[in-house]
Structure 1
């Protein structure tokens, strides 16, 4: 009887090594570019001013409101003297009108267009980084700024209400009394629920920055579109269209403040924001990839 020996595998164990090395270089290039984008942003006066403004504006607004009649025609406006937790909810409703798009477009709307304005694309592309790496780095830098600015605004708004008005129980949207500890968690959740909209507006600002190549349009465009969406959302008889607007999820946190919370608008809003974000970033990257940047 003859025994046939099984030949060991002759596959090259290092066959995937070039792909791994390329992936590491790709990540390293993106990290380096991201680092320098953050350095450039930190050096901008408007970026520093925006962060400082997010920190000092809420307490100033609270101090002004303390000496005035409460704005009873706005959600939670009539309760701002009765509970400190009503203050950040009032401010959250206010920034939804135009502050939220402006908060992110000041950076995201300019981060690509500024390279066109200064003619520095060719210089950037000769620094061993690809268009994809530049796009990822600038997008991450814009998102980082948006997250920092929004977090500063949220923390300042909540702290201002609690420290300047107090930790009184909060009245829910269905008339129920919410204890201070529960109210604090719900206020934080309400601000967190609006953050996906900020990401969506960041992506929209990036798209306008890439396509228009104009910093002014990249900054002002999202604010104008945000106001237009808010006005359109207030029109009756457009139920389906209203659900697809990027501004509609800004009201989704209302379901958290009822006696029996409902989360359908939150889930739907998250899907809408994800769709807006993905679509805008895909279109922006394709536009950047197909452009002739050799003249910049």
Structure 2
């Protein structure tokens, strides 16, 4: 008795979708395994865990608090202010680098090692491999952010204490509410962090060079920070990818305002979509016959 074959179009479409999902899952597992094997990524996560401990201990031991920074004057007396002080520094200089270390190298490494023809087999298409690398890079950036935030908040609370926090409007926030607000402030880093990851992916695809892929987003972030600090550019600041890093300020004011958060999410979304779309088109039309 012979088996019957269903030639209906919807059946073929379902089978093709199933094969596509399996191909993406396999590529995702492979990219995750490659990332876990890299000493650089493990060292970066370890640094995200240990660096906040060192910073909090050193700053809390200072006789003079850094009064010229936001929440700096309370940092040595209040653990929540210390966590926000570290957040302000990390958002300006550290987070773009943290995510670019992996995202800026994840495509360029295939060019440097000449492995494109090897990885682009019949079972893995360019689009599946592209999205697998994107998901792995985004996942790493988010994990690094969670580790950094958790280590900062926990260390600040243990070393400095959980006293009531004085907000930006002079209001006193009780410890439980302050903890939730500090955690929410760190959570607002997700949209711009995702956008910087996508920018790093674009640099990685376009340049085919890991150094450019990693340094490019960092330099871009520094330039945006400098431009954002200039006067008379109020119309330009909402378009800068570094502006959403400051959106958490509205959570610590009384009354709270979320306008900058919504604008920051929109800005981050635009940067993410444009960067990923451009990177995908560049990779799709790339000639890989040379390696």
User: TM-score surpassing 0.5?
Assistant: yes
1:173 deviates by: 0.1
Match of 2:39 in 1: 45
Q: How do residues 217-296 of structure 1 correspond to structure 2 at under 5 angstroms?
A: 217-296=212-291
1:86 deviates by: 0.7
Match of 1:66 in 2: 60
Match of 2:92 in 1: 97
CA distance in 2, matches of 1:13, 1:161: 64
Match of 1:25 in 2: 19
Q: How do residues 81-230 of structure 1 correspond to structure 2 at under 5 angstroms?
A: 81-126=76-121, 128-230=123-225
Per-residue deviation, residues 124-170 of structure 1 (Å, max 9, x unmatched): 11251000000000000001110111100000000011111111000
CA distance in 2, matches of 1:63, 1:252: 27
1:87 deviates by: 1.2
CA distance in 2, matches of 1:220, 1:190: 26
1:172 deviates by: 0.3
Asked if residue 14 in structure 1 is aligned to residue 18 in structure 2, the reply is: no
Normalised by the length of structure 1, the TM-score is 0.95
In the alignment of these two chains, the number of paired residues is: 285
Structure 1 outlier segments of 4+, above 3 Å: none
Per-residue deviation, residues 42-66 of structure 1 (Å, max 9, x unmatched): 1111101000001111111111112
Coordinate RMSD, CA, aligned = 1.1
- Segments of structure 1 that go 5 or more residues without pairing to the other structure are 1-11
CA distance in 1, matches of 2:186, 2:44: 18
CA distance in 2, matches of 1:81, 1:270: 32
CA distance in 1, matches of 2:75, 2:140: 30
Normalised by the length of structure 2, the TM-score is 0.96
1:246 is paired with a residue whose SS is coil
CA distance in 2, matches of 1:88, 1:276: 28
CA distance in 1, matches of 2:163, 2:185: 18
Per-residue deviation, residues 231-250 of structure 1 (Å, max 9, x unmatched): 00111111121110000011
CA distance in 2, matches of 1:209, 1:13: 43
Moved more, 220-229 or 89-98: 89-98
CA distance in 2, matches of 1:45, 1:295: 28
1:97 deviates by: 2.0
Please, which of 66, 71, 74 is the counterpart of residue 79 of structure 1? 74
- Segments of structure 2 that go 5 or more residues without pairing to the other structure are 1-5
Kept in 1: contact 2:92–2:245 (CA 8 A): no
CA distance in 2, matches of 1:132, 1:166: 49
Match of 2:49 in 1: 55
Kept in 1: contact 2:169–2:253 (CA 8 A): yes
